Homo-oligomer: A and B are copies of this chain.
Amino acid sequence: MNQAPLAVVLLSGGMDSCVTLALTLEQGYSIAALHVNYGQHTERRELQSFHDLCTYYNISNKLVVDITHLAQIGGSSLTRADIQVPGAMVEPGAVVHGMNPVGWDSERGTIPNTYVPFRNANILAIATSWAEVIGAHAISIGAVEEDSSGYPDCRESFFKAFEKAISEGTRPGSEIHILSPVIHLRKLEIVREGQRLHAPFHLTWSCYRNEAEACGDCDSCRLRLKGFSEAGIPDPIPYH
C-alpha cells in the first residue's frame, strides 16, 4: 500500500471551500468530500456546486448530511423573549466554509436570523466520525478568520482545541488533524491561490439570495466581488 493519505474536505460549494479543496489536493491528499445542508435558502444551488466540484476533481467519495436540527435550535433563540439572540449582526461571511446562514432574513439584510453557536463543532464532529470510519487522517475546512467577525468557532485556537478532542475521543492511531489552509488569507489571496491552482471558480456559488444569477448585493456576493476585483481577475459566475 502506497496510497495518498485521505482527507475529508468540507465542501459547501463556495469559493473558500473550493480553494481549500485545491490546496488540500496540492498537499498530496486524496479527497473525500462532505457537504452539510442546514436548510439554507440557496441549498439546492450550493448542492449543485458541490456535485459539480466533485465531478471536476473526480471525487467519488461523497457524503451529504442534513442537520436541520441546528436550524431548530437556532430558531428557538428567536422565538423566546428571555434569550439573547446569538450571532446577531455577524457578517454573512462569518459562516463556516462559505456556507450560508440558515433562514437568512432578506428583509433585514445583515442579520442571519438563526445563526447557530458552535456550528463548526457540529460539522467537525460529523467529519470526524466519517474520517474515522473511512480512515482519513485530515479534515480540511475553509474557515476564514477575516470574514468571521471574531466568531469563536472560526478561530484557529478553536480548531486546535477541537483537534485535541479528536485525539482524545477517537481510537489510538486515528491521527486525525484539522487543516484550515485559508484561515489567515484575505479574500483576494484566496482568489489568487485559486487562480494559481486552476480552481474552477465558475462552478462555485456564494450568493445566498439567488440560485440562477448571483445578486451581487448580498454580503457574501460583496465579499466575493471585492476579492476578485482586488485580485484583478474577473469573477466567472453570472451576476444579475
Contact = CB atoms under 8 A, between A and B. Distances in A.
Rank and list the top 9 A-B pairs by shortest CB-CB distance, nearest first.
A117-B132, A153-B169, A161-B165, A161-B168, A158-B169, A121-B125, A158-B168, A65-B69, A122-B125
A160 B166 CA distance: 12
Contacts of A116: 129, 133
Nearest to A157: B168
Interface string A146-162: 00000011010110111
What is the size category of the interface that chain A forms with chain B? 35 or more
Q: Which of A66, A70, A129, A167 has the most CB of B within 10 A?
A: A129
Given A83-B133, A117-B171, A121-B166, 5 more contacts: A63-B72, A73-B126, A77-B134, A152-B168, A164-B165
A29 interface: no
A129 B118 contact: yes
Q: Is the interface of A mostly helix, strand, loop or mixed?
A: helix
B117 A122 contact: no
A172 B117 CA distance: 12
A135 interface: yes
Contact of A118 (B80, B125, B134, B157): B125
